[in-house]
Structure 1
Amino acid sequence: MEEIYYLDVILIFIYIGAFIIKYARWKERFSGLYESMEEDNDISLNDINRESLEEEIMAYIINKKDNNYSQVIDQKETQIKDMEEYISKWVHEIKLPISAISMILERIDDAELSIEIKNETEKINFLVNSVMYGSRATAAAEDIFISEVKLQDIIKQAIKNNAFMLIRNNIEIKLENLDHYIFTDKKWILYVLDQLINNAIKYSRENAKIQFYGEESDKYICLNIRDNGIGIAAEDLERVFNKGFTGNNGRDTRYKSTGMGLYFSKKILDKLGNSFEVYSVKNEYTLFKIKFNKISDFTTITKM
Structure 2
Amino acid sequence: MIRTFLLERISWILFFILLQLLALLIAYVDQTIPLPSVLYYVFLSSILMIFFLFIRYRKETPFYLGIEERDNDLDITTFPEADSPFETVIETNVLEQIERLKQELSRNQSLLAQEKDDLLSWIHEVKTPLTAMRLIIDRTDDYKLKSQLTFEWMRIHLLLDQQLHQKRIPFIKNDLYIEEVDIEPLLFNEIKSLRSWCMQKGIGFDIDLQVEKVLSDAKWLAFIFRQLMTNAIKYSEQSDIVISSYEKCGRVHIHIEDEGRGIDPRDLPRIFEKGFTSTTDHQDGAATGMGLYLTDQIREALKIEIDVASTPGEGTRFTLLFPEENEFTKLRSM
Q: TM-score, normalised by structure 1?
A: 0.83
* Compared CA separation, residues 21 and 130, structure 1 to 2 (3 A): same
Checking the alignment, whether the CA contact within 8 Å between 1:250 and 1:257 is kept in structure 2 is no
Unaligned 5+ segments in structure 2 are: 1-29
Aligned pair partner of 2:271 in 228, 240, 247: 240
Query: What's the CA shift for 1:248?
Result: 2.4
- Contact 1:231–1:282, Cα closer than 8 Å, also in 2: yes
My pick for the range that moved more, 7-16 or 87-96, is: 7-16
Q: For residues 256 and 58 of structure 1, do their structure 2 counterparts lie closer, same or farther at Cα, with a shift above 3 Å needed?
A: same
User: Residue by residue, what CA displacement relative to the aligned partner does 1:73-108 show, whole Å, maximum 9, x if unpaired?
Assistant: 333332222222112111111112212222222443
Residue in structure 1 matched with residue 201 of structure 2 by the alignment: 169
AA aligned to 2:200 is: R
How far does residue 249 in structure 1 lie from its aligned partner after superposition? 3.8
**Is 2:246 the counterpart of 1:215?**
yes
Work out which structure has the larger RCO, using CA pairs closer than 8 Å and 6 or more positions apart in sequence: 1
Aligned 8 A contact 1:225 1:288 in 2: yes
Asked if 1:73 is matched to 2:105, the reply is yes
**Does 2:332 align with 1:299?**
yes
Match of residue 170, structure 2, among 134, 138, 144: 138
Contact 1:146 1:300 in 2 (8 A): no
8 Å CA contact 1:138–1:267 kept in 2: the answer is: no
The structure with the larger Rg is 2
Match of 2:160 among 128, 133, 151: 128
Count the aligned residue pairs. Answer: 298
* Cα displacement string for residues 177-215 of structure 1 (whole angstroms, at most 9, x for unaligned residues): 343432222111111111111111111123x21111113
| Cα 1:158–1:109 shift into 2, 3 Å | closer
Q: Taking structure 1 as reference, are residues 279 and 105 closer, same or farther at Cα in structure 2, changes over 3 Å only?
A: same
How do 1:16-55 residues align onto structure 2 when only pairs under 5 Å count?
A: 16-27=46-57, 30=61, 42=72, 50=81, 52-53=83-84
Task: Say whether the 8 Å CA contact 1:205–1:230 is kept in structure 2.
Answer: no
**Does 1:105 pair with 2:137?**
yes
Letter in 1 for 2:124: H
Question: What secondary structure does 2:267 align onto?
Answer: helix
Corresponding residue for 1:187?
A: 219
Compared with structure 1, are the counterparts of its residues 47 and 116 closer, same or farther at alpha carbon in structure 2 (3 Å cutoff)? Answer: closer
DSSP-derived class of the 2:332 partner: coil
> What is aligned with 1:268?
298
Equivalent residue number for residue 316 of structure 2: 286
| Greater helix fraction, Structure 1 or Structure 2 | 2
Residue range with higher mean Cα deviation, 156-165 or 91-100: 156-165
Which residue of 255, 259, 284 corresponds with 1:228? Answer: 259
Match of 2:22 in 1: none
Would the aligned equivalents of 1:211 and 1:225 in 2 still touch at CA under 8 Å? yes
**Equivalent-residue separation in structure 2 for 1:80 and 1:183 (angstroms):** 33
The answer to whether the 8 A contact 1:243-1:260 is kept is: yes
CA contact (8 A) 2:137 2:150 kept: yes
RMSD of aligned alpha carbons:
3.4
Aligned partner (choices 124, 143, 150) of residue 92 of structure 1: 124
* More deviation, 186-195/44-53: 44-53
8 Å CA contact 1:244–1:260 kept in 2: the answer is yes
Which of 287, 290, 305 aligns to 1:257? It is: 287
Q: Normalising by the residue count of structure 2, what TM-score does the alignment of the two structures yield?
A: 0.76
